[in-house]
Amino acid sequence: MQIDLHSHSTASDGRLAPAELVRRAAQSGVDVLALTDHDGVAGLDEARQAAVEQDIRFINGIELSVSWNKRTIHIVGLNFDLDYAPLCAGIQSLQDFRKVRARNIADKLEQAGIKGAYEGAQSFSGGTMLGRMHFAQFLAAEGYAKNVSKVFKKYLVNNKPGHVNGEWASLNDAVSWITGSGGVAVIAHPARYKLTRTKLRQLIKDFVAAGGQAIEVVSGSHCINEVKTMACHADDFDLYASSGSDFHDPDFPWIKLGQLPDLPEKCKPVWDLFL
């Protein structure tokens, strides 16, 4: 069975509409898909409907932005109930912060001589969420760098002209919004944060203390050694293991929907909790 529990649509910074994403997943042989847009659930109804038509299993998902020890960490939520009031309020607060941050990013870019970035970024967004990817797409289209990755490096990361510090949700709040709505909280792409082993284990401890149950062992952004390392951490902390591509865009050919390696033998699959 092909399972992909991390993907993005135009409801955040992905390039495909939710229904298109589901059709592409079905064509790629995915049997179980979670849509996990950043800080929003606006794409879930459309995706669920399309999954019925495509006869694949759909899991509600979200990827929450969290500030932990002055770093930004992503927590994926899976299989939660959309009507849980604290989750809805939490999403609203993150979306409000995104609007303020987008204005701040545009102001900083303007100070660096780049005009019209707010409207430019908006023209690349599906309208429900504004993120750095939309600024990157605008800046790349305007020729400020060769591609989106280079734009990030030049403009949108720490110490660069368009960087704004994130004040996102706390780890405790984000995990409790997910678990409180009946879902499973998952540490997203743990190898991407470039934490030392000690700091990563501290993050996992804090996450477990908050009620988190799973970690992405297989991720589109993990190499084979990182998969092995994360499987060991999952084992040590008795966490369930998740698997997700983090697909954003068909034009990023290095990340494909669903085509992920199997979880290592010793892992407890997170989908045992809901399939």
Query: Which residues of the chain form contacts with Mn ion (CB under 5 A)?
Result: 13, 63, 74, 188, 246
Q: Among ligand AMP, Mn ion, none, what does residue 222 contact (CB within 5–8 Å per kind)?
A: none
Q: What is the dihedral of CA 218, 223, 225, 231, to 10 degrees?
A: -10
Tell me the two tokens of residue 152: 């990030």
Q: Which stretch binds ligand AMP (CB under 6 A): 16-24, 81-89, 147-155, 224-232?
A: 147-155
**148 belongs to the binding site for ligand AMP (CB under 6 A):** yes
CB of 262 to ligand AMP, least distance (A): 25
Question: Distance between CA atoms of 270 and 38, rounded to whole angstroms?
Answer: 20
Compute the least distance from the CB of residue 153 to Mn ion, in Å: 16
What are the C-alpha distances in Å from 198 to residues 67, 195, 233? 18, 8, 11
Supply the minimum distance, in Å, between the C-beta of residue 148 and ligand AMP: 5
Residue indicated by tokens 């504004």: 130
Q: Which two tokens stand for residue 244?
A: 């997700």
Contact letters (x/-) for ligand AMP, 29-48, by CB under 6 A?
---------x----------
Query: Is residue 239 packed enough to be buried (19+ CB in 10 Å), middle (13-18) or exposed (0-12)?
Result: buried
For residues 5 to 34, the per-residue mask of contacts with ligand AMP, x marking binding by CB under 6 A and - elsewhere, is --------x---------------------
Q: How many CB atoms lie within 10 A of CB 225?
A: 9
**Site membership for ligand AMP, residue 120 (CB under 6 A):** no
Q: Choose, by CB under 6 A, the member of 6, 24, 132, 222 that binds ligand AMP.
A: 132
For residues 127, 161, 195 and 184, what is the CA-based torsion angle, rounded to 10 degrees? -10
| Interface contacts to ligand AMP, rule CB under 6 A | 13, 38, 65, 131-133, 148-149, 152, 248
